[in-house]
């Protein structure tokens, strides 16, 4: 299940709120300008399908987002638990950073953990299959794909270097929960 937990930045142990209700996740994230949607495929699609098949299955929603936000590039990224680069890939965005454009990701399959730092609050969002998240440009955040990453995601970019992370060295991400799919809680 998708889940949102909200913490204060000085207490990573006890969330102020924890919810798996889509309506509540959307509502809480909307308050901080973060888009959260759940999409249905327009036609049958599986994790191993070619990128163009995957993009075609979500064509209507993709076109809506591209028209609204002006994205220039849409691609599909896949990572499996046996990927030899998984540790390096996981490490890449584990520390607090921001981008100069929105970070918009749709989970075709699998899952991942986005954590956002907004004001004095920490918003931890477990994204699952069918979830779209849109993190606005300049929003501080980190992303954990977990020790055995598994996901297929559609990514949206405005600029060729839109994925480049600008790191804060705050050490904040290191104090909050990492992604451990299957762990209790």
Using the rule CB under 5 A, give the single segment among 13-21, 84-92, 98-106, 147-155 that binds Fe ion: 98-106
**DSSP code of 100?**
S
Tell me the closest approach of the beta carbon of residue 93 to Fe ion, in angstroms.
5
Mask 103-132, x = binds Fe ion (CB under 5 A)? x-----------------------------
Cα–chain-centroid distance for residue 166? 17
H or E element at residue 91: helix 86-92
Locate 120 and state its tokens.
């004095």
d(CA 123, CA 158): 25
- # binding residues, Fe ion (CB under 5 A): 2
Which region holds residue 61: left if phi is over 0, alpha if psi is between -120 and 50, else beta?
A: alpha
By C-beta, is 72 or 166 nearer to Fe ion? Answer: 166
Contact 146, 179 (CB under 8 A): yes
By C-beta, is 110 or 112 nearer to Fe ion? Answer: 112
By C-beta, is 102 or 103 nearer to Fe ion? Answer: 103
Using the rule CB under 5 A, give the single segment among 5-13, 78-86, 89-97, 119-127 that binds Fe ion: 89-97
Q: Which residue do the tokens 């060729």 mark?
A: 160
By C-beta, is 39 or 114 nearer to Fe ion? Answer: 114
Using the rule CB under 5 A, give the single segment among 8-16, 97-105, 120-128, 168-176 that binds Fe ion: 97-105
d(CA 139, CA 3): 20
Chain residues that interact with Fe ion, rule: CB under 5 A = 93, 103
């Amino acid at each position: 299940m998708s889940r949102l937990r909200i913490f204060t930045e000085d207490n990573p142990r006890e969330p102020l709120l924890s919810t798996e209700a889509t309506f509540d996740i959307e509502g809480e994230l909307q308050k901080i300008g973060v888009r959260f949607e759940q999409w249905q495929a327009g036609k049958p699609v599986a994790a191993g399908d070619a990128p163009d098949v995957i993009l075609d299955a979500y064509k209507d929603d993709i076109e809506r987002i591209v028209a609204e936000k002006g994205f220039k590039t849409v691609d599909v990224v896949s990572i499996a638990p046996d990927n030899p680069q998984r540790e390096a890939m996981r490490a890449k965005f584990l520390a607090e950073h921001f981008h100069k454009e929105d970070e918009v990701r749709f989970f075709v399959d699998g899952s991942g953990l986005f954590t956002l730092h907004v004001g004095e609050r920490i918003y931890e969002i477990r994204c699952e299959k069918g979830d779209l998240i849109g993190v606005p440009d300049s929003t501080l955040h980190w992303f954990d794909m977990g020790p055995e990453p598994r996901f297929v995601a559609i990514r949206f970019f405005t600029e060729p270097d839109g994925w480049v992370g600008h790191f804060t060295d705050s050490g904040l991400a290191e104090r909050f929960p990492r992604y451990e799919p299957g762990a209790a809680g």
